[in-house]
């Protein structure tokens, strides 16, 4: 068989080029993703990349990539029940990052947050709170944009510490240095 042809429009088509065929000539074809084995689909959509987990959900009409924000080294994900002990009763400053798995800017700053959590691990604690799973905290702290960063010290939000939206690693480092200096953390 020289080429694979399908009239199925169930999933996106992936270009395939055969190197050799029975007739000796090379040919090109588009093979619907549904015809690929799960091993080949996994190579096309890797399961884990830079703290972002991707899952392929198969439906009858399309393939949809779902993302889940995961915590890397130095960052702990907490929920409403852990917030009081982890953030409000902490002996040192706590940087809280409010995120959601559907939020592109949240995924964008994940590597920078993980890197800085490691760099500042002796000076502060970094925690991540899922927006969708913790509506009481979202309402209580009036989180309107994502990602939102808030620094807490001695159980209180540090004035002028709230930051919304994506931020580069350099700007994030400047932000943290200025905040830690303002609250006298060496």
Q: Which of 95, 103, 127, 150 is catalytic?
A: 103
Q: Are the beta carbons of 55 and 65 closer than 8 angstroms?
A: yes
Structure token pair of residue 122: 């002796």
3-state SS class at 183: coil
**Cβ pair 22, 34 in contact under 8 A:** no
Active site residue 106: yes
Distance separating alpha carbons of residues 33 and 35, to the nearest angstrom: 5
Give me the catalytic one of 78, 96, 106, 116: 106
Point out the residues that are catalytic: 103, 106
């Amino acid at each position: 068989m020289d080429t694979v042809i399908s009239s199925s429009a169930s999933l996106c088509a992936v270009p395939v080029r055969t190197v050799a065929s029975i007739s000796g000539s090379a040919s090109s074809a588009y093979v619907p993703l549904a015809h690929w084995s799960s091993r080949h689909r996994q190579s096309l959509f890797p399961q884990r990349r830079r703290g972002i987990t991707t899952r392929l959900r198969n439906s009858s009409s399309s393939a949809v990539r779902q993302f889940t924000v995961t915590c890397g080294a130095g960052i702990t994900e907490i929920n409403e029940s852990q917030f009081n002990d982890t953030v409000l009763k902490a002996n040192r400053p706590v940087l809280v990052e409010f995120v959601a798995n559907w939020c592109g800017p949240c995924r964008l700053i994940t590597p920078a947050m993980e890197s800085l959590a490691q760099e500042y691990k002796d000076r502060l604690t970094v925690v991540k709170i899922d927006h969708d799973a913790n509506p009481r905290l979202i309402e209580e702290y009036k989180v309107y944009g994502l990602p939102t960063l808030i620094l807490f010290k001695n159980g209180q939000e540090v004035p002028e510490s709230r930051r919304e939206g994506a931020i580069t690693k350099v700007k994030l480092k400047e932000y943290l240095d200025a905040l830690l200096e303002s609250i006298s953390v060496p």
